[in-house]
Amino acid sequence: MGSFYFPGDSWLHRTAAGVKLLLLMLAGAGLMWVHDWRILLLVLLGVLLLVQQSGARLQQVWLYLKTLSWLVIILILYTAFAQTPLGALEVGLRIYALLLGALLVSMTTSIAQMMEVLIWLLRPFHQLGWVNSERVALVFGLTLRLIPELTVQWQDIREAQAARGLKANPFTMGVPMLLRTLRRAQDIADALDARQ
Amino acid sequence: MLKTKDLVLVALFTAMIIVLGLIPPVPVPWVPVPITLQTFGVMLAGLILGPWRGGLVVLTYVLIAMLGIPVLPGGRAGLAVLAGPTGGFLLGMIPGAVITGWLAGALPRGELAHAPQGWKAVAPQVLRCWVASVIGGLLVVYAVGIPWLATVTGMGLNKAAWAVVVFLPGDLLKALVASIVAQRVRRLGMI
């Protein structure tokens, strides 16, 4: 599975992941209080400049934005209808500035770096003994490993039912999917325990 | 402390929600909006795994998406989703699963496996699961999602709430399907 991250050597890539995340959070909270569309436009242009600085291919950025856009466009139309066109402009600018900013962090920070920030954030809980960072990492790794397995499992059930002339329906798919998944849990747990 | 099996269950259920979310949306009669199976998975996590493991499942799901792995419906991921107008609905699923699991309560282990299976015998269990998923999976999720939507877009709470109304029939139906499926699975006492 691909992620948004692309390797690079821009100063945005070199900035610590924690700093980028903190700035993104502050910007997100700050923009909620800005209601002047001219300032919002400046912010959006600033973010675009940063995107350009990161060395991202604009085509790629556009592709990501497109997957997020249909909802935003509905929202803008809804706001224009329910409020004023100027309000809709403000909403659109704010959302795109935030989306692009967040996308920028995702594009310049690898999953490993993000994971490090997460583990760092969990450290106080780890020291209190509430959370075991290694187990967190285990659950994450296991989840990613199981996605293809469960996709195959879904297709198996689907095919088995198609062979019997059944159409996909939430009951006939849901129950066997869950039962097989639960049955698997014990086997995997036993395998993990045996290795410890 | 969670046992290894609990960790595995959390990982398996998270992976299942991801798979359900990646399957193309299922069109449902009478409902204008295509239904993604993602919230369906969230309700099931609470109903079947109980409040804590169910909550952990959704927490893991949200964190994996935030790390930037495209696991959300439509292959979306990353912080952009959280920063966007629907971020609150995603975050609201975490307390949502906990409250669903808490309200649904535990079923005595395997005791009902041989109980009568008539419609009348299972109705109280299904009803309880349904109420739990409506309160946890809908009300709690909306309670976080709607103010978030209102804040990000700057539209009033009222208007944001109206924008969400189109999803209500589909979500109520989804809660019912999840409850029936959960009741059938819970009865077997495999957890």
Report the distance separating Cα A196 and Cα A186, nearest Å.
16
Residue A133 lies in a domain: yes
Single-letter residue type at B126: V
Chain B: give the shortest CA distance to residue A144, in Å: 7
Cβ-Cβ contacts under 8 Å, B15 against chain A:
143-144, 146-147, 149-150
| Rounded alpha-carbon distances, angstroms, from residue A66 to A59, A187, B34 | 11, 41, 19
Q: Are residues A104 and A31 in the same domain?
A: yes
What mean pLDDT, rounded, does chain B reach? 81
Q: Which of A67, A95, A179 sits opposite B185 (nearest CB)?
A: A179
Chain A: give the shortest CA distance to residue B25, in Å: 12
Tokens of A134: 């290694």
Report the distance separating Cα B64 and Cα B56, nearest Å.
12
Cβ-Cβ contacts under 8 Å, B79 against chain A:
21, 24, 102-103, 105-106
The number of domains in chain B is: 1
The number of domains in chain A is: 2
- Indicate which CATH number applies to the domain containing B125: 1.10.1760.20
Q: Are residues A98 and A119 in the same domain?
A: no
Residue A152 lies in a domain: yes
Q: Are residues A184 and A161 in the same domain?
A: yes
Q: Are residues A83 and A134 in the same domain?
A: no
Report the distance separating Cα B97 and Cα B95, nearest Å.
6
Cβ-Cβ contacts under 8 Å, A100 against chain B:
80
Is A6 part of the contact surface with chain B (CB cutoff 8 Å)?
Answer: no
Q: Report whether B95 contacts B140 (CB < 8 A).
A: yes
Secondary structure (3-state) at A165: coil
Q: Are residues A95 and A25 in the same domain?
A: yes
- Long-range contacts (CB closer than 8 Å, 24 or more residues apart) made by A76-83: A78/B155, A78/B159, A78/B163, A79/B153, A79/B154, A79/B155, A82/B155, A82/B159, A83/B155, A83/B159
Q: What is the pLDDT of residues A16-25, one digit of tens each?
A: 888 988 888 8
Helix (H) / strand (E) element for B74: namely none
Yes or no, beta carbons of A21 and B79 under 8 Å apart: yes
Yes or no, beta carbons of A144 and B64 under 8 Å apart: yes
Report the distance separating Cα A175 and Cα B44, nearest Å.
11
DSSP string for residues in A90-154: HHHHHHHHHHHHHHHHHHHS-HHHHHHHHHHHHHHHHHHTS--HHHHHHHHHHHHHHHHHHHHHH
The domain boundary residue, chosen from A80, A109, A138? A109
Q: Which of A102, A150, A186 sits opposite B80 (nearest CB)?
A: A102
Domain that holds residue A173: 114-195
Yes or no, beta carbons of B8 and A192 under 8 Å apart: yes
Q: Are residues A17 and A104 in the same domain?
A: yes
pLDDT of residue B31: 45
| Selection from A16, A13, A71 nearest residue B81 by Cα | A71
- φ and ψ of A120, to 5 deg: -65, -40
Report the distance separating Cα B37 and Cα A170, nearest Å.
9
Is A194 part of the contact surface with chain B (CB cutoff 8 Å)?
Answer: no
Domain that holds residue B45: 4-187
Q: Are residues A105 and A144 in the same domain?
A: no
Residue A5 lies in a domain: no
Predicted TM-score (pTM) of this structure: 0.81
Residue A1 lies in a domain: no
pLDDT of residue B1: 59
Report the distance separating Cα B113 and Cα A184, nearest Å.
20
Cβ-Cβ contacts under 8 Å, A3 against chain B:
67-70, 77-78
Q: Are residues A17 and A91 in the same domain?
A: yes
Q: Are residues A119 and A95 in the same domain?
A: no
DSSP string for residues in B8-53: HHHHHHHHHHHHHHHSPPBP-TT-SSPBPSHHHHHHHHHHHHHHHH
Chain A: give the shortest CA distance to residue B152, in Å: 6
Q: Are residues A101 and A144 in the same domain?
A: no
Report the distance separating Cα B179 and Cα A142, nearest Å.
27
pLDDT tens for chain A, 196 residues: list them: 456 788 888 888 888 888 988 888 888 778 877 888 899 999 999 999 999 888 888 888 888 787 777 777 877 888 788 778 888 888 888 888 888 888 888 888 888 888 888 888 888 888 887 788 888 888 988 898 888 889 889 889 989 988 998 887 778 888 898 999 988 888 899 988 888 7
For A183, which residue in chain B has the nearest alpha carbon?
Answer: B190
Burial class of residue A49 (count of CB atoms within 10 Å of its CB; 0-12, 13-18, 19+): exposed
